[in-house]
């Protein structure tokens, strides 16, 4: 059944209205006070906070400490923040970079968000919901590039959770030669109720992702003009409901440009602290899209709180220090040159070769204003992105899905992450999935560069069991054609 039943719609309406009774754990007054107090911090205090952040056995930074770094105006100290973020990122994540492709399944939406091209009132947008056949065709193209991880995206419409789950089944079921398969489907869809999230859990999704957009209620109310999304708390508690349904990898984010970026960063931290408090685990990842020009949205061309590149760099570096074990995601909204710079500061996952409209991979045009959600800054094909990562940054592109498939999710993952596991296990998994890519999908140029990088990375490994296992796995991949080996 594609659409929700009348009973379900009624139930949902009731639950959304009831969300208003929940407490707002984003204490706005407190955030403003922290930001004011942090302005008074001197240089020494900034340095002390950096010393604390350097010790990655600490759990990151408090809201106040984060605010001090955000308020710092001394450029030399900012440089120290950038340098430390790079160091922390390298120590925790090593030189691997996880890659994924977004897959827009629908651009039909019942809401009106002031910044989005999918808003119901946008009459210029060509609306489309992919059929099963179209989903398979899109996935085939994505797999043909070499991707193994997909983020499915939908507008907010009356789609039933069962239909959402069905579309996920279609993605998993699509296999192509030589080794094309999607091994992890993450999802960005409108907040559901607990029952709906359970249906998604049963469809084997990886992460449920929902951005709060802005944590500032007044701005939230201004930007969300009609539809279910107008209810701030229904959205604020979406990740709680997902957790209650057993989805322990949840992801949040803020859309930068709607309100003061410093406030939003503290909002993200407050959200993370609340989840940690209630469920023992914070968000698996945080995203921080900047508003991009979107058809039909005047404000998207001139956002009220446009953030400069420098400020954007700063929030990435500061988030890396504040939540060292939380993945940070960067999308193709940012352009190529700038993306390179940001990766080093703390990004652990990027989308690549993205299309932001339903049918965009079969169609293959990067920018189609009449159908897409926002314009793409980095239009390069996956092979080019990978070659660039491997040559200019010495990064090992990773398509790894090992943790989620071995049940290392939620607090289990966080516990492991904090024990230097990411480097010990994720790097071997990155090497194996990269080797698969090089054998099956890479251009000759990328293959040459990539094989050399894997060799260098292998040599860097400590002698021991894992090194022996990786040697054997790499040989099985290249010489025996085995695939999907993970630790």
Interaction of residue 383 with ligand SAM, rule CB under 6 A: no
Q: Is 292 in the site for ligand SF4 (CB under 6 A)?
A: no
Q: Min. distance of Cβ 288 from ligand SF4 in angstroms?
A: 15
- Asked if 373 and 294 touch (Cβ cutoff 8 Å), the reply is yes
Q: How far is the CB of 341 from ligand SAM (least distance, A)?
A: 20
Letter string b/e over residues 203-241, b meaning 16 or more CB atoms within 10 A of that residue's CB? bebbbbbbbbbbbbeebbeebbeebbbbbbbbbbbbbbb
Judged by beta carbon distances under 5 to 8 A according to partner kind, the member of ligand SF4, ligand SAM, none in contact with residue 300 is ligand SAM
Give least dist CB 224 to ligand SAM, A. 9
**Closer residue to ligand SAM (CB): 294 or 347:** 294
Q: Which one of the spans 105-113, 196-204, 276-284, 451-459 is the region binding ligand SF4 (CB under 6 A)?
A: 105-113
Candidate list 103, 109, 258, 451; residue touching ligand SF4; CB under 6 A = 109
Alpha-carbon 51 to chain mean position: 28
We find the least distance from the C-beta atom of residue 221 to ligand SF4, in angstroms, to be: 14
Both tokens assigned to 14: 């009731």
Given 255, 414, 422, 485, the residue binding ligand SAM (CB under 6 A): 255
Indicate the residue among 165 and 451 with the shorter CB distance to ligand SAM: 165
Rounded least distance, CB 235 to ligand SAM, Å: 8
Instruction: Measure the CA–CA gap between 323 and 312, rounded to whole angstroms.
Output: 16
H helix or E strand, kind and range, residue 200:
helix 194-202
CA 352 to chain centre: 12
- Nearest in space to 7 (alpha carbons), one of 229, 193, 237: 193
Long-range Cβ contact pairs of 299-303 (< 8 A, separation 24 or more): 299/114, 299/115, 300/114, 300/115, 300/116, 300/117, 300/374, 303/115, 303/257, 303/258
Rounded Cα distance between 485 and 487, Å, is: 7
What's the full length of the chain, in residues?
487
The count of chain residues that interact with ligand SF4, using the rule CB under 6 A, is 9
Binding mask 146-165 for ligand SF4 (x = CB under 6 A): ---------xx---------
Gap between the Cα atoms of 181 and 149, Å rounded: 9
Q: Does 295 bind ligand SF4 (CB under 6 A)?
A: no
Distance CA 98, CA 140 (A): 20
Question: Which residues inside 99-128 make contact with ligand SAM, applying CB under 6 A?
Answer: 115-116, 118
By CB under 6 A, which span of 106-114, 346-354, 430-438, 463-471 interacts with ligand SF4? 106-114
Please tell me whether residue 111 binds ligand SF4 under the rule CB under 6 A.
yes
Residue with token string 């708390």: 233
321 in contact with ligand SAM (CB under 6 A): no
User: 301 in the Ramachandran plot: left (φ > 0), alpha (ψ -120 to 50) or beta?
Assistant: alpha
- State which of residues 163, 374, 413, 441 lies at the interface with ligand SAM (CB under 6 A): 374
Among candidates 325, 333, 326, which has minimal Cα distance to 373? 333
Among 137, 146, 136, CA closest to 101 = 146
CA separation for the pair 392, 387 (Å, rounded)? 8
- Residues in contact with ligand SAM, shown as a per-residue x/- string from 330 to 369 under the rule CB under 6 A: ---x------------------------------------
Contact residues: ligand SAM, CB under 6 A: 115-116, 118, 153, 155-156, 188-190, 210-211, 213, 255, 289, 291-292, 294, 300, 333, 373-374
Contact residues: ligand SF4, CB under 6 A: 109, 111, 113, 116, 118-119, 155-156, 229
């Amino acid at each position: 059944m594609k659409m929700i039943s009348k009973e379900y719609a009624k139930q949902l309406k009731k639950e959304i209205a009831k969300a208003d009774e929940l407490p707002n754990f984003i204490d706005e007054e407190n955030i403003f006070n922290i930001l004011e107090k942090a302005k008074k911090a001197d240089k020494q205090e900034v340095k002390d906070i950096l010393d604390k952040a350097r010790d990655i056995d600490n759990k990151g930074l408090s809201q106040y400490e984060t605010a001090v770094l955000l308020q710092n105006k001394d450029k030399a100290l900012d440089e120290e923040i950038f340098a430390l973020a790079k160091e922390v990122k390298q120590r925790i994540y090593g030189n691997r970079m996880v890659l994924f492709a977004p897959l827009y399944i629908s651009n039909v939406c019942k809401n009106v968000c002031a910044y989005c091209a999918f808003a119901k009132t946008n009459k210029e947008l060509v609306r489309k919901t992919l059929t099963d056949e179209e989903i398979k065709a899109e996935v085939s193209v994505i797999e043909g590039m070499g991707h193994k991880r997909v983020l499915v995206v939908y507008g907010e419409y009356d789609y039933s959770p069962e239909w959402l789950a069905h579309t996920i089944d279609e993605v998993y079921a699509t296999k192509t030669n030589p080794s094309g398969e999607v091994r992890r489907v993450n999802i960005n869809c409108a907040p559901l109720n607990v029952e709906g999230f359970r249906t998604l859990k049963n469809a084997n999704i990886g992460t449920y992702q929902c951005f709060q957009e802005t944590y500032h209620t007044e701005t939230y109310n201004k930007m969300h003009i009609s539809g279910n999304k107008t209810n701030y708390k229904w959205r604020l508690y979406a990740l709680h409901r997902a957790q209650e349904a057993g989805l322990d990898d949840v992801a949040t984010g803020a859309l930068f440009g709607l309100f003061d970026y410093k406030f939003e960063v503290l909002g993200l931290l407050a959200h993370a602290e609340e989840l940690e408090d209630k469920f023992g685990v914070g968000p698996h990842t945080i995203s921080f899209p900047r508003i991009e020009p979107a058809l039909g949205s005047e404000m998207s061309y001139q956002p009220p709180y446009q953030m400069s590149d420098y400020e954007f760099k700063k929030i990435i570096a500061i988030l890396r220090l504040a939540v060292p074990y939380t993945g940070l995601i960067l999308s193709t909204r940012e352009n190529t040159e700038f993306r390179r710079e940001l990766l080093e500061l703390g990004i652990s996952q990027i989308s690549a070769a993205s299309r932001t409209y339903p049918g965009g991979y079969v169609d293959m045009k990067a920018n189609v204003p009449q159908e897409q959600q926002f314009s793409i800054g980095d239009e390069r094909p996956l092979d080019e992105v990978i070659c660039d990562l491997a040559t200019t940054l010495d990064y090992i592109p990773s398509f790894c899905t090992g943790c989620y498939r071995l049940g290392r999710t939620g607090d289990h993952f966080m516990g492991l992450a904090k024990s230097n596991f990411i480097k010990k296990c994720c790097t071997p998994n990155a090497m194996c999935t990269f080797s698969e890519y090089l054998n099956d999908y890479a251009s000759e140029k990328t293959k040459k560069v990539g094989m050399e990088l894997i060799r260098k990375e292998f040599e860097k490994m400590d002698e021991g069991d894992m090194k022996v296992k990786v040697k054997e796995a790499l040989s099985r991949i290249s010489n025996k054609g085995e695939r999907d080996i993970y630790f």
